[in-house]
Structure 1
Amino acid sequence: MADGTRSRVRRRRLAAGRDRLSALPDDLLHHTITYLPVTEAIATAALSSSWRHIWRSYPLVLKDADIPEPARDALVPRVLAEHPGSFRSVILYDCRLASLNRELPGWPRLLVDKRTQQLLLAHPHRNLPAPPPSTVNQPDAARLLPADILRSGSLQDLSLDFWTFSADLCRRADINLPQLRILTLTRVVISDQDLECLIAVCPVLESLGLGLTLNNAKHVRLRSKSLRCALVVDGRSKDGEFTVVDTPLLQRLYLLQQFKGVALAVRIACAPKLRVLGYLDTRTHKLQIGDSVIRPDTMASARTVVPTVEILALAVNLGISGEVKMLASFLRCFPNVETLHIESAPHYPSVTASEPSGEHHARFYQEVSQVDCLRSHAKKLVIHDFRGDQNEFEFVKFIAMNAQELQSLLVVVSDQEILSSADKVNEIKEELQCVQFPTGISAVLHELPKAAVVYRLKRAADLTINDPFEC
């Protein structure tokens, strides 16, 4: 039935006082059913003859989480096969290869042919242990990513979780993702060289998310002429390296480390538009700018600064002298920072009892006193995970005395034990109120539980959010 005929039928029904919902325009009806689970969206065809075409005539939106568990194995392949396409979004959090290969042979090619725009494939890994590090370059047939997925001319957003990439990826001349803007790789097995090749075949890539684990490339080298945002969640249990080699448009580098005792070398070689950076951890990150390795005694020079960074986030134990010295060195590398986030880190079990821990605060903070960004540029400072330790209060006092351009200081308490104690919270408030700021401001206390990692990463990937570290 032609669109004009369908519209006339709907108007007649509306005039007769029946089926008012069907009188809505097709595009609005389709927009509505995309919010329904796919089983209910398909069932709308039974409402009336004028609804029969709606689900099949618009791009498919499929989420396997919307399908009841007993029916999932059979229904996912059936939906993919019966919908004529194109596919707007296919989200398979439980991508069952056995049932897909059995019920719908060639399903990866189908996703390409139906011009899928958004694709998430998460391999069910609850019963599959990760392969040992010695097999990192050996394909795991049980979860080997089908090569056709990487030959899509329509994909704009691709997320892969718990897959093994073919060991000859970089030798495949037909791998190409010309429209891909967002790429997220989590718990994948891929070599250093193949990861570089994969990024290289995405010429318009804007956002890259890497969930690095034991089986990932150890030396990640980032080259991209289009990339604007890189998110790195490092969950490896061994030391690694992340290098920004050549990223002329990169604006945001967001780092989140899960194993705090593991060292990660972070090297920034070429990122002329880098504006947002963090969290750099004074305990575990080994920062290198160009050819210069940043050490506790490193002073600012043309070879050791990134002048474009305006928003910086650092993690530091404010009671450990070595970490405060490294904090000062990190800060010297970013002389034009206007918004500074400090995550107050607790002691690691590995910190020895002989380490100075808050006994000589004045001497500690002399290391920071000559840092340009603190003295002359920083307008906003946020101290996260504040616990009310004496060394934290001494740092606040130091900031009050030395940050000449400061316009806002926010102290965030997130620890649930502290938040549950009104006396402890009031004690922190009272001590902060005693701190005098020459600029006329006062420290503001926020009581806010720490956000989940997924929420933090979502904010970090959204370039419309000016400051991804903001509470």
Structure 2
Amino acid sequence: MADGAAPLSPAGRRRDRLSALSDDLLHQIITQHLPVTEAAGTAALARRWRHLWSSTPLVLRDAALPEPARDAAVPRVLAEHPGHFSAVVLLDCRLASLDRELPDWPRLLADKHTQKLYLANRSTPNLTYDALPHIPADILRCDSLQELLLGFWAFPVDLSHGAGISLPNLRCLTLIMVAIRDDDLEHLITACTVLEILKLSGTTPKRIHLRSPSLRCALVGLSRVEDFAVVDAPLLERLVLFLPSKVTTVKIGYAANLRVLGHLDTRVHRLQIRDTAIGLNTVPSTSTAIPSVKILAVTVNFGVLWEVKMLACFLRCFPNIDTLHIESALHGPSVTANEPSGEHHARFWQEASPVECVRSDVKKMVIHEFRGNQNEFQFLKFVAMNAQELQSLHVVLQEENISLTDKVNEIREKLESLQFQTGISGVLLVLPTEGTLSRLQKATDLTFDDPFRF
């Protein structure tokens, strides 16, 4: 230490450097790094902190609160914070308790300008659709909402006949296990005049018709749907269909901006382009084509000849595909018992009329869930002989075969023996299957150009 320099006092060493930060930085610390109850407690630290929590838009996630105190903490925080509410995520608290402690909580969410709301009725996950409680009406009149997720609720009947909906700023709507009538769902979507992203899973409608001037992305579970149609969605860029479990008509009407589509499933989807049902005898024409689609995903059972033929029919409807994903579906023994032999499959591809997108446009192809069956290789031989623009072929091995070294080597050798017109070689990928949640998250993330990529 230099002569004459005084040592730092203990108080100097403990100087409160945190309080010297700007309000903006302290707001970030409170919202991003502190549990909500501790964030609220910062008001008691010192005069410098007193105004910060109340002036910071609230971010409340009930799962971050300890279980014993959660049901009491949620209504207290909602009542004490003056607003605005940036995000309120209630997926783990008991809403019956919230009703008792804070009966006006739905109105309060609207009054305090909630921007993002995730609301799942935890107390009723095992109830039938008929027994689901009604969503509080004030939630549907929360003008400030930009993102809304509802799980395990029922919508009021006859939304289209006077029930008030005011969601003028809503850009993302997610409905999970929700009871709502066909007409009411259409009215809800139409009422959200700036809606860009729609996610539906486990909803009750058997008919879903999309009409929206603003919608850009739709993720739709079709487990109960019999009639799905894009009627008029001029800005729709991406349509992702999942959970196919029954025969469903999939109609693409007016969607001039549609760029990404999948998974069309030859097992259960009956494709209709505008007014034409696509079948084995459909003659390709401008009226049966969607030229805007650049990325297409199709699920097919290569063991069923009729599905293989429908695969070719589907592909002819999309003449300008750059990237093609094909998922090889597993078939049951009952399906294949009377199926034609591999020779019939080979003959079909040898005699098939041209598939324009495969011949002239597809640059990247990915085969998912590949098992190395003869019929799968017949399709790859067709691609090798016809694809004039193909730059890459990735074959993703079905997970059950990953540990079978001999099987993997056999598939690799067969793949390497294929002679492609463009001189490329197929690449065998041994990867674990991506989780469903991850796949669905990518599906609606518009920063991913290709939501189906591995």
Alpha-carbon contact 1:14-1:23 (below 8 Å) kept: no
Task: Give the match for residue 270 of structure 1.
Answer: 254
**TM superposition score normalised by structure 1:** 0.90
Alpha-carbon contact 2:182-2:205 (below 8 Å) kept: yes
Task: Give the match for residue 404 of structure 1.
Answer: 388
Residue 265 of structure 1, CA deviation? 1.1
CA separation of 1:439/1:125 partners in 2, compared to 1, >3 Å: closer, same or farther?
farther
Query: Does residue 1:385 correspond to 2:369, yes or no?
Result: yes
CA separation of 1:78/1:367 partners in 2, compared to 1, >3 Å: closer, same or farther?
farther
Residue 64 of structure 2 is aligned with which of 63, 66, 77? 66
Task: Give the match for residue 205 of structure 2.
Answer: 217
* Larger CA deviation: 451-460 vs 362-371: 362-371
Give the 5 Å matches for 1:372-451: 372-415=356-399, 417-451=400-434
Q: Distance in 1 between matches of 2:98 and 2:238?
A: 38
Task: Give the match for residue 151 of structure 2.
Answer: 161
Kindly provide the amino acid, as one letter, of the partner of residue 23 in structure 1.
A
* Larger CA deviation: 343-352 vs 96-105: 343-352
Q: Deviations over 1:38-81 (max 9, x none)?
A: 22323334444323332221100000111122212111111100
Q: Deviations over 1:225-249 (max 9, x none)?
A: 000000012233xx61111111011
Alpha-carbon contact 1:210-1:231 (below 8 Å) kept: yes
Residue 424 of structure 1, CA deviation? 2.5
Corresponding residue SS for 1:303: helix
Corresponding residue SS for 2:291: coil
Residue 96 of structure 1, CA deviation? 2.5
Q: Deviations over 1:426-456 (max 9, x none)?
A: 2222221111222111101112222112111
Task: Give the match for residue 238 of structure 2.
Answer: 252
CA separation of 1:180/1:391 partners in 2, compared to 1, >3 Å: closer, same or farther?
same
Identity of aligned residues (%): 60
Alpha-carbon contact 1:234-1:258 (below 8 Å) kept: yes
- Structure 2: gaps of 5 or more residues: 1-9
Residue 105 of structure 1 is aligned with which of 103, 106, 109? 103
Task: Give the match for residue 92 of structure 1.
Answer: 90
Q: Distance in 1 between matches of 2:350 and 2:11?
A: 78
Task: Give the match for residue 199 of structure 1.
Answer: 189
Task: Give the match for residue 219 of structure 2.
Answer: 231
Residue 378 of structure 1, CA deviation? 0.8
Task: Give the match for residue 274 of structure 2.
Answer: 290
Alpha-carbon contact 2:146-2:172 (below 8 Å) kept: yes
Query: Does residue 1:25 correspond to 2:27, yes or no?
Result: no
Kindly provide the amino acid, as one letter, of the partner of residue 330 in structure 1.
F
Query: Does residue 1:53 correspond to 2:59, yes or no?
Result: no
Alpha-carbon contact 1:14-1:20 (below 8 Å) kept: no
Q: Distance in 2 between matches of 1:118 and 1:346?
A: 40
**TM superposition score normalised by structure 2:** 0.93
Residue 263 of structure 1, CA deviation? 0.9
Residue 285 of structure 1, CA deviation? 0.3
Residue 123 of structure 1, CA deviation? 0.9
Residue 16 of structure 1, CA deviation? 6.9
Corresponding residue SS for 2:156: coil
Residue 41 of structure 1 is aligned with which of 24, 35, 39? 39
Q: Distance in 1 between matches of 2:117 and 2:300?
A: 38
Kindly provide the amino acid, as one letter, of the partner of residue 311 in structure 2.
L
Q: Deviations over 1:367-398 (max 9, x none)?
A: 65511001111111110011121222222222
Q: Deviations over 1:62-113 (max 9, x none)?
A: 0011112221211111110011100000001135332111110111000000
- Structure 1: gaps of 5 or more residues: 1-12
Alpha-carbon contact 2:386-2:421 (below 8 Å) kept: no
Moved over 3 A (4+): 13-17, 43-49, 125-128, 366-369
Q: Distance in 2 between matches of 1:14 and 1:345?
A: 70
Alpha-carbon contact 1:325-1:367 (below 8 Å) kept: no
Q: Distance in 2 between matches of 1:154 and 1:69?
A: 30
Alpha-carbon contact 1:94-1:121 (below 8 Å) kept: no
Kindly provide the amino acid, as one letter, of the partner of residue 202 in structure 1.
C
Q: Distance in 1 between matches of 2:209 and 2:350?
A: 36
Corresponding residue SS for 2:342: coil
Q: Distance in 1 between matches of 2:342 and 2:17?
A: 71
Aligned residues between the structures: 444
Q: Deviations over 1:218-277 (max 9, x none)?
A: 1111100000000012233xx611111110110110011253xx1111111111111110
Q: Alignment RMSD, CA only?
A: 2.0
Corresponding residue SS for 2:366: strand
Task: Give the match for residue 75 of structure 1.
Answer: 73
